[in-house]
Amino acid sequence: MSIVVTGATGHLGRLVVHQLLEKVPAEQVTAVVRNEAKAADLAARGVKLAVADYNRPETFDGLFAAGDKVLLISGNEFDKGRVGQHTVVIDAAKAAGVALLAYTSAPGSLTAALADDHRATEQALLASGLPYTLLRNGWYHEVYTENLAPVLAQGAVVAAAGAGRLSSASRADYAAAAAAVLTGEGHENQTYELGGDEAWSFAEYAAELSRQTGREIAYDSVPGETKLGILKDAGVPEPLASILVGVDASIAEGELVISTGDLSRLAGRPTTPLAEAVAAGLKG
């Protein structure tokens, strides 16, 4: 029996593998990667590697074994039919008779277009009859704190979210929850709505940036069309830019406030405060 993590060299996947190595022997962990060289550090720690690609279904043939627990991390290729990619993994897992397939989805409250592929993948997973866990991850701190250079250069946080609030958390928080599900018991056929312990607004985010930098950082609330233009001018592909603007609109409606407490319960600790993520982002 292995715990198998797809997308294991991505931002979230690598963190999940690291969390698993704190709980189980390395030989029980299999990392599914597209580029074996990028996983050399994981292999050096004793993690098994499997090379497979969501876009090449045949690469998943025989990859899973009966009794495996699998984490399907959603793909990030928005233009390549993510539902079809995810279904490749679901079909292979069903054929193998895995014990559990956990999927990193989106909050059930989210109506933005970003959620469409997730809802369709959830339907495919439920229709498969596999024991499942839906990890409905909220938004990530790192979406805002990973590249602060433009915000600092402009002296402003620009968003089309009005006074909306959101319950973001760090990738490490979501990774801890996934690792808990993969190594624990009683998570079959469960849905977890995951978000940070404390919701925040963009005005509060700008204020925190101001506090930590000693500079005046404003919150510039703009219409969605303006934000779309800014993203496209910055080189963000139009499909992704539209998705991000849609998420801002959902934030304005309160759809990313997650108050279940599921994330901190699964992680076994409070979630990472936004201020801590800001500090990490400023350190570079």
What is the tens place of the pLDDT at every residue in 15-65? 999 999 999 999 999 999 999 999 999 999 999 999 999 999 999 999 999
The domain segmentation of the chain, as residue ranges, is: 3-138+171-193+259-267
Tokens of 232: 């496209």
Measure the CA–CA gap between 154 and 230, rounded to whole angstroms. Answer: 12
- The residues of the chain scoring below 70 in pLDDT are 78-80
Measure the CA–CA gap between 274 and 165, rounded to whole angstroms. Answer: 13
| Measured torsion, CA atoms of residues 82, 33, 148, 224, in degrees rounded to the nearest 10 | 0
Helix orientation angle between 114-128 and 82-96, rounded to the nearest 10 degrees: 20
Tokens of 142: 């790192």
Query: CA-CA distances (angstroms) from residue 247 to 161, 175, 225, 254?
Result: 8, 22, 13, 10
How many residues comprise the chain? 284
Nearby residues of 280 by Cβ (< 8 Å), 6 or more positions away: 145
pLDDT, position 1:
73
| Measured torsion, CA atoms of residues 83, 41, 21, 1, in degrees rounded to the nearest 10 | 60
What is the tens place of the pLDDT at every residue in 190-220? 999 999 999 999 999 999 999 999 999 999 9
Nearest alpha-carbon partner for 5 in 104, 105, 136, 141: 104
Tokens of 203: 């005005």
pLDDT, position 78:
62
Decide if domain 3-138+171-193+259-267 falls under CATH 3.40.50.720.
yes
Nearest alpha-carbon partner for 276 in 176, 173, 150, 138: 173
Helix orientation angle between 238-252 and 114-128, rounded to the nearest 10 degrees: 90
